[in-house]
């Protein structure tokens, strides 16, 4: 799994990589409005945050222009492009980092690839019309996320007979759909979708059984940062969830996570390094 290609860059996924979250939205659940407000992308703020995340150890930056929290406002294709594309273009010119675009929109996928994106990260697992074809055209790797239902209703009443089995079946089906469109299996990353159509119990079961999601030896991306499962277990508000988030990082790394998608890069890097040192029973001096 070492030497995974992200466009013009390559990362060693045998070591857990850190993906920093850059939401250019007014309404994301944790950081909405910080980088995008009054219908304007604040590019200088975006670049400053991006530079800080890279300095702190992020090897991937995930740029998203559409909030997928329950009840979030629908974003038009044009509006999503206006939010995301200038950010990708600026980061690609300024920083040596893999740029991931968090989108389900085929037009955004194509244009992002032209501007320097190295990964398509789709919460809808290329389910939108034309998305499979768009990723095939870009020749970029793609992260397929599991979600039961859709963002508007996913948390109404999520139900599974066995969440592990059903997530695995979903991934197998989406991998086959990708291969049918000419997307090589070795370009696929899997994300179990913590908080997307799942109860707290479902999320905890997934986290405790990540190793069972080893499908065709494909890389796993895990995003638990600041999520409601942590708030529910610890009874903590958003600004008090760092310790809980870091605990889930350590568990995920020990369960084989290859990429951690997080808000708090510096602290996560320390946890990953310490966890991997214990797993290797040595310290890299």
Averaged pLDDT for residues 166-191: 97
Query: Is residue 276 very low, low, confident or very high in pLDDT (cuts 50, 70, 90)?
Result: very high
Query: Is residue 132 very low, low, confident or very high in pLDDT (cuts 50, 70, 90)?
Result: very high
In tens, the pLDDT along 246-261 reads 999 999 999 999 999 9
Q: What is the pLDDT of residue 32?
A: 46
Residues identified as active-site: 227, 261
Mean pLDDT of the chain: 91
- Enumerate domains of the chain plus CATH numbers: 4-280 (3.20.20.20)
Averaged pLDDT for residues 206-212: 96
Q: What is the pLDDT of residue 29?
A: 45
In tens, the pLDDT along 42-57 reads 788 889 999 999 999 9
Is the pLDDT at 284 greater than 60? The verdict is no
In tens, the pLDDT along 61-102 reads 999 998 776 665 778 999 999 999 999 999 999 999 999 999
In tens, the pLDDT along 216-239 reads 899 999 999 999 999 999 999 989
Is the pLDDT at 31 greater than 60? The verdict is no
Q: Which of 49-58, 96-105, 107-116, 145-154 has the lowest mean pLDDT?
A: 145-154
Query: For the residues of the chain, what is the DSSP string, one character each?
Result: --SEEETTEEE-TTS-EEEEEEE--S--TTTTTSSEETTEE-HHHHHHHHHHHHHHT-SEEEEE-S--STTPPP--HHHHHHHHHHHHHHHHHH--SEEEEE---HHHHHHHHHHT--EEEETTTT-STTHHHHHHHHT--EEEE--SS-TTTTTSS---S-HHHHHHHHHHHHHHHHHHTT--GGGEEEE--TTSS--HHHHHHHHHTGGGG--TT--BEE--TT-HHHHHHHT--GGG-HHHHHHHHHHHHHTT-SEEEES-HHHHHHHHHHHHHHHHTS---
Q: Which of 14-28, 35-49, 174-188 has the lowest mean pLDDT?
A: 35-49
């Amino acid at each position: 799994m070492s030497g995974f290609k992200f466009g013009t860059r390559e990362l060693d996924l045998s070591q857990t990589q850190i993906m920093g979250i850059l939401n250019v939205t007014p309404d994301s659940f944790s950081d909405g409005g910080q980088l995008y407000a009054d219908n304007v992308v604040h590019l200088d703020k975006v670049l400053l945050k991006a530079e800080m995340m890279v300095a702190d150890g992020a090897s991937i930056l995930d740029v998203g222009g559409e909030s997928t929290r329950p009840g979030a406002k629908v974003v038009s294709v044009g509006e999503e492009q206006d939010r995301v594309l200038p950010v990708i273009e600026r980061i690609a010119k300024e920083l040596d980092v893999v740029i991931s675009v968090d989108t389900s929109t085929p037009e955004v996928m194509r244009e992002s690839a032209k501007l320097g994106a190295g990964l398509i990260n789709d919460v809808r697992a290329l389910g939108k019309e034309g998305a499979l074809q768009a990723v095939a055209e870009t020749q970029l790797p793609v992260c397929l996320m599991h979600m039961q239902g859709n963002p508007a209703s996913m948390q109404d009443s999520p139900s599974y007979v066995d969440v592990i089995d059903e997530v695995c079946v979903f991934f197998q089906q989406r991998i086959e759909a990708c291969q049918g469109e000419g997307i090589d299996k070795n370009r696929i990353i899997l994300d179990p979708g913590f908080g997307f159509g799942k109860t707290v119990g479902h999320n905890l079961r997934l986290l405790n059984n990540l190793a069972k999601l080893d499908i065709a030896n494909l890389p796993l991306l895990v995003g638990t940062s600041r999520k409601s499962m942590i708030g529910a277990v610890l009874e903590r508000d958003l600004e008090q969830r760092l310790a809980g988030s870091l605990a889930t990082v350590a568990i995920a790394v020990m369960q084989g996570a290859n990429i951690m998608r997080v808000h708090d890069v510096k602290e996560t890097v320390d946890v990953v390094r310490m966890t991997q040192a214990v797993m290797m029973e040595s310290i890299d001096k």
